[in-house]
Amino acid sequence: MATTLSEAYRDHPLHLHHIIPLDFSSFRTLPDSHAWPQSNDDCNDHLTSNINGCFDESCIPIIDLNDPNAMEQIGLACEKWGAFQLRNHGIPLNLIEEVEEEAKRFFSLPSKEKVKALRSSGGATGYGRARISPFFPKYMWHEGFTIMGSPSNDAKKIWPNDYKRFCDKMENYENQMKMLSEKVTKMIFNILGISQQENKWVGSNNHCGAIQLNFYPSCPDPNKAMGLAPHTDTSLLTILHQSQTSGLQIFKEGVGYVPVHPHPNTLIVHTGDILHILSNSRFRCALHRVVVNNVKNRYSVAYFYVPPIDYLVQPFVPTNSLPRFRSLSVKEYIGIKAKNLGGALSLISTFLDDDLCQQGK
Ligand SMILES: C=C1C[C@]23C[C@@]1(O)CC[C@H]2[C@@]12CCC[C@@](C)(C(=O)O1)[C@H]2[C@@H]3C(=O)O
Ligand SMILES: O=C(O)CCC(=O)C(=O)O
Ligand SMILES: [Fe+2]
Protein backbone atom coordinates (compact mmCIF):
# COMPACT_ATOMS: atom_id res chain seq x y z
CA MET A 1 0.00 0.00 0.00
CA ALA A 2 1.29 3.46 -0.91
CA THR A 3 2.42 5.55 2.04
CA THR A 4 4.29 8.29 0.18
CA LEU A 5 3.57 10.57 -2.75
CA SER A 6 6.21 8.79 -4.87
CA GLU A 7 4.53 5.44 -4.22
CA ALA A 8 1.13 6.86 -5.16
CA TYR A 9 2.49 7.66 -8.65
CA ARG A 10 4.14 4.24 -9.07
CA ASP A 11 0.87 2.65 -10.21
CA HIS A 12 0.61 5.17 -13.06
CA PRO A 13 3.70 4.66 -15.25
CA LEU A 14 4.39 6.89 -18.25
CA HIS A 15 5.97 5.99 -21.60
CA LEU A 16 9.55 7.20 -21.90
CA HIS A 17 8.65 9.51 -24.81
CA HIS A 18 6.46 11.41 -22.32
CA ILE A 19 9.45 11.74 -20.00
CA ILE A 20 12.54 12.50 -22.12
CA PRO A 21 12.62 16.21 -22.99
CA LEU A 22 13.87 17.56 -26.31
CA ASP A 23 17.38 18.96 -26.50
CA PHE A 24 16.01 22.47 -27.01
CA SER A 25 19.46 23.97 -27.60
CA SER A 26 19.72 22.21 -30.98
CA PHE A 27 16.58 23.79 -32.52
CA ARG A 28 16.52 27.09 -34.46
CA THR A 29 12.91 26.58 -35.62
CA LEU A 30 9.93 25.11 -33.80
CA PRO A 31 9.63 21.36 -34.55
CA ASP A 32 6.16 20.18 -35.57
CA SER A 33 6.04 17.98 -32.45
CA HIS A 34 5.96 21.23 -30.40
CA ALA A 35 3.70 23.36 -32.66
CA TRP A 36 0.29 23.69 -31.02
CA PRO A 37 -2.81 23.99 -33.22
CA GLN A 38 -4.10 27.00 -31.28
CA SER A 39 -2.02 30.09 -30.77
CA ASN A 40 -1.89 31.90 -27.43
CA ASP A 41 -3.92 34.91 -28.56
CA ASP A 42 -6.75 34.34 -26.06
CA CYS A 43 -4.75 36.16 -23.40
CA ASN A 44 -5.86 39.47 -21.91
CA ASP A 45 -2.43 41.04 -21.85
CA HIS A 46 -3.72 44.45 -20.82
CA LEU A 47 -4.89 42.96 -17.52
CA THR A 48 -2.46 42.47 -14.72
CA SER A 49 -2.28 42.10 -10.98
CA ASN A 50 -2.86 45.09 -8.78
CA ILE A 51 -0.22 46.10 -6.32
CA ASN A 52 -2.72 47.39 -3.75
CA GLY A 53 -4.69 44.19 -3.48
CA CYS A 54 -7.84 44.37 -5.52
CA PHE A 55 -10.89 42.20 -5.80
CA ASP A 56 -12.52 43.28 -9.03
CA GLU A 57 -12.78 40.98 -12.01
CA SER A 58 -9.53 41.95 -13.67
CA CYS A 59 -6.63 41.50 -11.28
CA ILE A 60 -5.03 38.82 -9.18
CA PRO A 61 -4.77 40.27 -5.69
CA ILE A 62 -1.54 40.87 -3.82
CA ILE A 63 -1.97 40.22 -0.11
CA ASP A 64 0.39 41.29 2.65
CA LEU A 65 0.66 38.44 5.16
CA ASN A 66 1.25 41.01 7.92
CA ASP A 67 -1.98 42.84 7.12
CA PRO A 68 -4.51 42.35 9.98
CA ASN A 69 -7.12 41.63 7.27
CA ALA A 70 -4.95 39.08 5.46
CA MET A 71 -7.17 36.13 6.38
CA GLU A 72 -10.31 37.76 5.03
CA GLN A 73 -8.47 38.81 1.84
CA ILE A 74 -7.16 35.28 1.32
CA GLY A 75 -10.72 33.94 1.61
CA LEU A 76 -11.99 36.40 -1.02
CA ALA A 77 -9.08 35.68 -3.37
CA CYS A 78 -9.63 31.91 -3.10
CA GLU A 79 -13.33 32.37 -3.86
CA LYS A 80 -12.83 34.68 -6.82
CA TRP A 81 -9.56 33.48 -8.35
CA GLY A 82 -8.26 30.37 -6.65
CA ALA A 83 -4.96 32.23 -6.51
CA PHE A 84 -3.28 35.25 -4.95
CA GLN A 85 0.17 36.76 -4.55
CA LEU A 86 1.73 36.95 -1.13
CA ARG A 87 3.95 39.72 0.22
CA ASN A 88 5.85 39.61 3.52
CA HIS A 89 5.67 35.84 3.35
CA GLY A 90 8.71 35.42 5.60
CA ILE A 91 10.78 33.23 3.25
CA PRO A 92 14.37 34.55 3.18
CA LEU A 93 14.90 36.21 -0.19
CA ASN A 94 18.47 34.96 -0.46
CA LEU A 95 17.20 31.37 -0.14
CA ILE A 96 14.74 31.93 -3.00
CA GLU A 97 17.55 33.38 -5.13
CA GLU A 98 19.87 30.49 -4.28
CA VAL A 99 17.23 27.92 -5.21
CA GLU A 100 16.66 29.70 -8.53
CA GLU A 101 20.44 29.69 -9.11
CA GLU A 102 20.58 25.94 -8.43
CA ALA A 103 17.72 25.40 -10.90
CA LYS A 104 19.66 27.42 -13.52
CA ARG A 105 22.83 25.44 -12.75
CA PHE A 106 20.99 22.18 -13.36
CA PHE A 107 19.04 23.17 -16.48
CA SER A 108 22.06 24.78 -18.15
CA LEU A 109 23.86 21.40 -18.18
CA PRO A 110 24.07 19.58 -21.54
CA SER A 111 21.16 17.19 -22.20
CA LYS A 112 23.43 14.14 -21.91
CA GLU A 113 24.18 15.16 -18.31
CA LYS A 114 20.60 15.97 -17.33
CA VAL A 115 19.25 12.63 -18.59
CA LYS A 116 21.46 10.88 -16.02
CA ALA A 117 18.75 11.90 -13.52
CA LEU A 118 15.84 11.03 -15.85
CA ARG A 119 12.60 10.10 -14.05
CA SER A 120 11.91 6.41 -14.52
CA SER A 121 8.68 5.22 -16.14
CA GLY A 122 7.01 4.46 -12.80
CA GLY A 123 9.02 7.07 -10.90
CA ALA A 124 7.95 10.41 -9.52
CA THR A 125 11.23 12.28 -9.01
CA GLY A 126 14.04 13.49 -11.25
CA TYR A 127 14.36 15.14 -14.63
CA GLY A 128 11.68 15.04 -17.34
CA ARG A 129 8.64 16.42 -19.08
CA ALA A 130 5.58 17.47 -17.05
CA ARG A 131 3.46 14.51 -15.92
CA ILE A 132 0.47 15.90 -17.85
CA SER A 133 2.26 15.42 -21.20
CA PRO A 134 0.24 12.33 -22.34
CA PHE A 135 -3.03 14.31 -22.20
CA PHE A 136 -2.01 16.71 -24.97
CA PRO A 137 -1.44 16.16 -28.70
CA LYS A 138 1.79 18.19 -28.76
CA TYR A 139 4.80 18.45 -26.49
CA MET A 140 5.44 21.41 -24.23
CA TRP A 141 8.41 23.79 -24.45
CA HIS A 142 9.44 22.84 -20.94
CA GLU A 143 11.76 20.75 -18.79
CA GLY A 144 11.15 19.87 -15.15
CA PHE A 145 12.94 18.39 -12.16
CA THR A 146 10.78 16.92 -9.41
CA ILE A 147 11.91 16.52 -5.79
CA MET A 148 10.10 14.61 -3.02
CA GLY A 149 12.01 14.57 0.26
CA SER A 150 15.79 14.57 -0.15
CA PRO A 151 16.92 14.96 -3.78
CA SER A 152 20.25 13.27 -3.00
CA ASN A 153 19.64 10.11 -5.08
CA ASP A 154 18.99 12.15 -8.21
CA ALA A 155 21.58 14.86 -7.46
CA LYS A 156 24.34 12.26 -6.94
CA LYS A 157 23.78 11.05 -10.53
CA ILE A 158 24.52 14.57 -11.79
CA TRP A 159 27.17 15.82 -9.37
CA PRO A 160 28.71 12.69 -7.76
CA ASN A 161 31.26 14.78 -5.84
CA ASP A 162 29.30 17.96 -5.37
CA TYR A 163 25.64 17.06 -4.77
CA LYS A 164 25.48 18.51 -1.25
CA ARG A 165 25.13 22.15 -2.28
CA PHE A 166 22.04 21.40 -4.40
CA CYS A 167 20.53 19.13 -1.72
CA ASP A 168 21.10 21.59 1.15
CA LYS A 169 19.37 24.43 -0.70
CA MET A 170 16.42 22.28 -1.77
CA GLU A 171 15.92 20.75 1.68
CA ASN A 172 16.11 24.13 3.36
CA TYR A 173 13.59 25.51 0.84
CA GLU A 174 11.24 22.56 1.39
CA ASN A 175 11.30 23.20 5.18
CA GLN A 176 10.55 26.89 4.73
CA MET A 177 7.77 26.18 2.23
CA LYS A 178 6.25 23.61 4.55
CA MET A 179 6.07 26.19 7.36
CA LEU A 180 4.51 28.83 5.11
CA SER A 181 2.02 26.29 3.74
CA GLU A 182 1.01 25.37 7.28
CA LYS A 183 0.44 29.01 8.17
CA VAL A 184 -1.72 29.64 5.09
CA THR A 185 -3.57 26.31 5.48
CA LYS A 186 -4.45 27.14 9.11
CA MET A 187 -5.86 30.50 7.98
CA ILE A 188 -7.84 28.82 5.21
CA PHE A 189 -9.21 26.10 7.52
CA ASN A 190 -10.25 28.89 9.88
CA ILE A 191 -12.15 30.63 7.09
CA LEU A 192 -13.87 27.39 6.12
CA GLY A 193 -14.61 26.44 9.73
CA ILE A 194 -12.62 23.21 9.35
CA SER A 195 -11.50 21.83 12.71
CA GLN A 196 -7.75 22.10 13.42
CA GLN A 197 -8.33 19.38 16.02
CA GLU A 198 -9.28 16.87 13.31
CA ASN A 199 -6.44 18.00 11.08
CA LYS A 200 -3.45 17.53 13.31
CA TRP A 201 -1.40 16.52 10.25
CA VAL A 202 -1.07 20.26 9.49
CA GLY A 203 2.04 21.18 11.42
CA SER A 204 3.25 17.60 11.75
CA ASN A 205 5.72 15.84 9.49
CA ASN A 206 2.92 13.68 8.23
CA HIS A 207 2.14 15.83 5.18
CA CYS A 208 3.34 15.14 1.62
CA GLY A 209 5.27 17.76 -0.27
CA ALA A 210 7.00 18.09 -3.62
CA ILE A 211 9.20 20.69 -5.26
CA GLN A 212 9.07 21.15 -9.01
CA LEU A 213 11.83 23.11 -10.75
CA ASN A 214 10.51 24.34 -14.10
CA PHE A 215 12.53 25.56 -17.09
CA TYR A 216 11.04 27.18 -20.20
CA PRO A 217 13.86 27.89 -22.67
CA SER A 218 13.44 30.92 -24.97
CA CYS A 219 11.62 29.66 -28.02
CA PRO A 220 12.03 30.40 -31.78
CA ASP A 221 8.24 30.60 -32.38
CA PRO A 222 6.60 31.40 -29.02
CA ASN A 223 3.10 32.06 -30.38
CA LYS A 224 2.80 28.49 -31.62
CA ALA A 225 4.45 26.86 -28.60
CA MET A 226 3.10 26.07 -25.12
CA GLY A 227 5.28 26.25 -22.00
CA LEU A 228 2.96 24.35 -19.69
CA ALA A 229 -0.47 23.31 -20.92
CA PRO A 230 -3.63 24.34 -19.01
CA HIS A 231 -4.03 22.42 -15.77
CA THR A 232 -5.08 22.73 -12.16
CA ASP A 233 -2.71 21.58 -9.42
CA THR A 234 -3.58 18.39 -7.53
CA SER A 235 -2.28 19.79 -4.22
CA LEU A 236 -4.12 21.38 -1.31
CA LEU A 237 -2.16 24.50 -2.16
CA THR A 238 0.84 25.37 -4.29
CA ILE A 239 3.39 28.09 -3.53
CA LEU A 240 5.12 29.32 -6.65
CA HIS A 241 8.20 31.44 -7.21
CA GLN A 242 8.59 32.72 -10.77
CA SER A 243 11.81 34.29 -12.03
CA GLN A 244 11.60 37.86 -13.29
CA THR A 245 10.18 36.69 -16.64
CA SER A 246 6.44 36.72 -17.39
CA GLY A 247 4.65 33.67 -18.73
CA LEU A 248 2.19 32.42 -16.11
CA GLN A 249 -1.47 33.00 -16.94
CA ILE A 250 -4.55 32.21 -14.85
CA PHE A 251 -7.93 31.52 -16.43
CA LYS A 252 -10.84 33.61 -15.22
CA GLU A 253 -14.36 32.68 -16.26
CA GLY A 254 -15.83 35.35 -18.55
CA VAL A 255 -12.46 37.09 -18.93
CA GLY A 256 -10.00 34.57 -20.37
CA TYR A 257 -6.34 34.11 -19.46
CA VAL A 258 -4.95 36.83 -17.20
CA PRO A 259 -1.16 37.20 -16.98
CA VAL A 260 0.49 37.14 -13.57
CA HIS A 261 3.54 39.31 -14.12
CA PRO A 262 6.35 38.86 -11.60
CA HIS A 263 6.37 41.27 -8.65
CA PRO A 264 9.59 41.39 -6.66
CA ASN A 265 9.40 39.68 -3.28
CA THR A 266 6.02 38.03 -3.83
CA LEU A 267 5.12 34.37 -4.03
CA ILE A 268 2.04 33.10 -5.84
CA VAL A 269 -0.36 30.77 -4.03
CA HIS A 270 -2.68 28.50 -6.02
CA THR A 271 -5.67 26.70 -4.53
CA GLY A 272 -5.30 23.07 -5.62
CA ASP A 273 -7.94 20.44 -6.41
CA ILE A 274 -7.82 19.01 -2.87
CA LEU A 275 -8.72 22.36 -1.31
CA HIS A 276 -11.42 22.83 -3.95
CA ILE A 277 -12.97 19.52 -2.81
CA LEU A 278 -12.52 20.28 0.92
CA SER A 279 -14.18 23.68 0.48
CA ASN A 280 -17.09 21.99 -1.31
CA SER A 281 -16.15 24.09 -4.37
CA ARG A 282 -16.43 27.40 -2.49
CA PHE A 283 -12.77 27.95 -3.43
CA ARG A 284 -11.86 27.75 -7.09
CA CYS A 285 -8.90 25.76 -8.28
CA ALA A 286 -7.46 27.99 -10.91
CA LEU A 287 -6.80 26.63 -14.37
CA HIS A 288 -3.39 28.00 -15.36
CA ARG A 289 -0.84 27.68 -18.13
CA VAL A 290 2.57 29.05 -19.06
CA VAL A 291 3.41 30.77 -22.35
CA VAL A 292 6.97 31.22 -23.61
CA ASN A 293 8.90 34.03 -25.28
CA ASN A 294 11.71 34.31 -27.81
CA VAL A 295 14.01 36.51 -25.71
CA LYS A 296 14.60 35.04 -22.28
CA ASN A 297 14.74 31.70 -20.56
CA ARG A 298 12.14 31.41 -17.81
CA TYR A 299 12.43 29.48 -14.53
CA SER A 300 9.96 28.77 -11.76
CA VAL A 301 9.95 26.79 -8.52
CA ALA A 302 6.67 25.27 -7.33
CA TYR A 303 6.06 23.72 -3.91
CA PHE A 304 3.04 21.42 -3.68
CA TYR A 305 1.57 20.98 -0.20
CA VAL A 306 -0.45 17.77 -0.05
CA PRO A 307 -2.14 16.03 2.95
CA PRO A 308 -0.95 12.54 3.95
CA ILE A 309 -1.62 9.98 1.24
CA ASP A 310 -4.29 8.13 3.28
CA TYR A 311 -6.04 11.37 4.37
CA LEU A 312 -9.77 11.32 3.66
CA VAL A 313 -10.60 14.32 1.50
CA GLN A 314 -14.14 15.06 2.60
CA PRO A 315 -16.03 18.21 1.54
CA PHE A 316 -16.70 20.49 4.48
CA VAL A 317 -20.39 21.23 4.02
CA PRO A 318 -22.13 24.28 5.53
CA THR A 319 -25.48 23.61 7.22
CA ASN A 320 -28.34 23.08 4.74
CA SER A 321 -25.94 22.30 1.89
CA LEU A 322 -25.10 19.02 0.20
CA PRO A 323 -21.63 17.65 -0.49
CA ARG A 324 -20.71 18.30 -4.09
CA PHE A 325 -18.06 15.58 -4.16
CA ARG A 326 -17.82 12.10 -2.77
CA SER A 327 -15.15 11.62 -0.10
CA LEU A 328 -11.98 9.83 -1.14
CA SER A 329 -8.37 9.40 -0.08
CA VAL A 330 -5.56 11.53 -1.49
CA LYS A 331 -4.13 8.39 -3.07
CA GLU A 332 -7.41 7.57 -4.82
CA TYR A 333 -7.71 11.13 -6.12
CA ILE A 334 -4.13 11.03 -7.47
CA GLY A 335 -5.04 7.82 -9.31
CA ILE A 336 -8.20 9.32 -10.83
CA LYS A 337 -6.30 12.47 -11.86
CA ALA A 338 -3.47 10.40 -13.39
CA LYS A 339 -6.02 8.75 -15.69
CA ASN A 340 -8.38 11.68 -16.35
CA LEU A 341 -6.57 14.97 -15.68
CA GLY A 342 -9.17 17.78 -16.14
CA GLY A 343 -12.06 15.32 -15.90
CA ALA A 344 -11.08 14.09 -12.42
CA LEU A 345 -13.26 16.53 -10.45
CA SER A 346 -16.35 15.79 -12.55
CA LEU A 347 -15.83 12.07 -11.98
CA ILE A 348 -16.08 12.46 -8.21
CA SER A 349 -18.82 15.08 -8.39
CA THR A 350 -22.17 14.23 -6.81
CA PHE A 351 -23.80 16.75 -9.18
CA LEU A 352 -24.43 16.34 -12.87
CA ASP A 353 -22.71 19.55 -14.04
CA ASP A 354 -19.21 18.98 -15.20
CA ASP A 355 -16.35 21.42 -14.79
CA LEU A 356 -17.57 22.53 -11.36
CA CYS A 357 -14.06 23.68 -10.67
CA GLN A 358 -14.02 26.44 -13.26
CA GLN A 359 -17.53 27.58 -12.48
CA GLY A 360 -16.54 27.86 -8.84
CA LYS A 361 -19.96 26.52 -7.85
C1 LIG B 1 2.89 16.55 -6.33
C2 LIG B 1 2.89 16.69 -7.63
C3 LIG B 1 2.09 17.70 -8.37
C4 LIG B 1 2.45 17.45 -9.80
C5 LIG B 1 2.69 15.99 -9.80
C6 LIG B 1 3.62 15.86 -8.60
O7 LIG B 1 3.79 14.54 -8.25
C8 LIG B 1 4.98 16.46 -8.90
C9 LIG B 1 4.96 17.24 -10.17
C10 LIG B 1 3.75 18.17 -10.20
C11 LIG B 1 3.50 18.76 -11.57
C12 LIG B 1 4.33 20.02 -11.89
C13 LIG B 1 3.97 20.54 -13.29
C14 LIG B 1 2.45 20.59 -13.50
C15 LIG B 1 1.80 19.28 -13.01
C16 LIG B 1 0.32 19.22 -13.40
C17 LIG B 1 2.61 18.13 -13.55
O18 LIG B 1 2.49 17.58 -14.63
O19 LIG B 1 3.59 17.79 -12.64
C20 LIG B 1 2.03 19.11 -11.54
C21 LIG B 1 1.42 17.90 -10.85
C22 LIG B 1 0.02 18.13 -10.30
O23 LIG B 1 -0.30 19.16 -9.72
O24 LIG B 1 -0.80 17.22 -10.49
O1 LIG C 1 6.01 28.07 -14.21
C2 LIG C 1 5.00 28.55 -13.68
O3 LIG C 1 4.82 29.74 -13.50
C4 LIG C 1 3.87 27.62 -13.29
C5 LIG C 1 4.30 26.21 -12.97
C6 LIG C 1 3.14 25.34 -12.61
O7 LIG C 1 2.02 25.63 -12.90
C8 LIG C 1 3.40 24.08 -11.89
O9 LIG C 1 4.58 23.73 -11.64
O10 LIG C 1 2.40 23.41 -11.55
FE1 LIG D 1 0.58 24.34 -11.88
CA distance 103 to 97: 10
ipTM over 0.90: yes
Query: Ligand 2: residues whose CB is within 6 Å?
Result: 212, 214, 228, 233, 240, 242, 248, 288, 290, 300, 302
3-class SS of residue 287: coil
Q: 188 near 317, Cβ under 8 Å?
A: no
The pLDDT of residue 54 is 46
Domains of the chain, start order: 2-347 (2.60.120.330)
Q: What is the CA radius of gyration of the chain?
A: 19
196 CA distance to ligand 3 centroid (A)?
27
- pLDDT tens digits, one per residue of 218-249: 999 999 999 999 999 999 999 999 999 999 99
Burial class of residue 37, CB neighbours in 10 A (0-12, 13-18, 19+): exposed
Residue type, 26: S
Of all helices (H) and strands (E), which one includes residue 111? helix 111-114
Q: Which parts of 251-309 fold into alpha helices (H)?
A: 273-278
Describe the crossing of helices 70-80 and 164-192 by its angle, rounded to 10 degrees. Answer: 90
Number of DSSP helices (H) and strands (E) in the chain, helices first: 10, 14
Q: What contacts 77, CB < 8 A, 6 or more positions away?
A: 55, 60, 61, 63, 83, 84
Q: Which of 131, 282, 298, 324 is catalytic?
A: 298
Describe the chain by its helix, strand, coil percentages, rounded to 5: 35, 20, 50
Length of the chain as a residue count? 361
Low pLDDT (below 70) residues in the chain? 1, 39-57, 352-361
CA distance 290 to 281: 24
CA distance 321 to 327: 15
Cβ–ligand 1 distance for 125 under 6 Å, the answer no
The pLDDT of residue 346 is 96
3 CA distance to ligand 2 centroid (A)?
26
143 CA distance to ligand 3 centroid (A)?
14
Q: What atom of ligand 2 comes closest to residue 212's alpha carbon?
A: 9
Cβ–ligand 1 distance for 304 under 6 Å, the answer yes
The preferred substitution site among 212, 245, 296 for testing ligand 2, maximizing ligand atoms within 8 Å of CB, is 212
Nearest CA to ligand 2 atom 10: 233
CA distance 225 to 141: 7
Q: What atom of ligand 2 comes closest to residue 288's alpha carbon?
A: 7
pTM of the prediction?
A: 0.95
Report which of 235, 320, 299, 243 is spatially closest to residue 269, judged by C-alpha positions. Answer: 235
Say how many C-beta atoms besides its own lie within 10 A of residue 354's C-beta.
14
Q: Which ligand is nearest to the CA of 240?
A: 2
Examine the residue annotation and report whether 129 is marked as an active-site residue of this protein.
no
Nearest CA to ligand 1 atom 7: 124
Q: 315 near 269, Cβ under 8 Å?
A: no
Cβ–ligand 1 distance for 234 under 6 Å, the answer yes
The pLDDT of residue 318 is 86
Q: What atom of ligand 1 comes closest to residue 302's alpha carbon?
A: 12
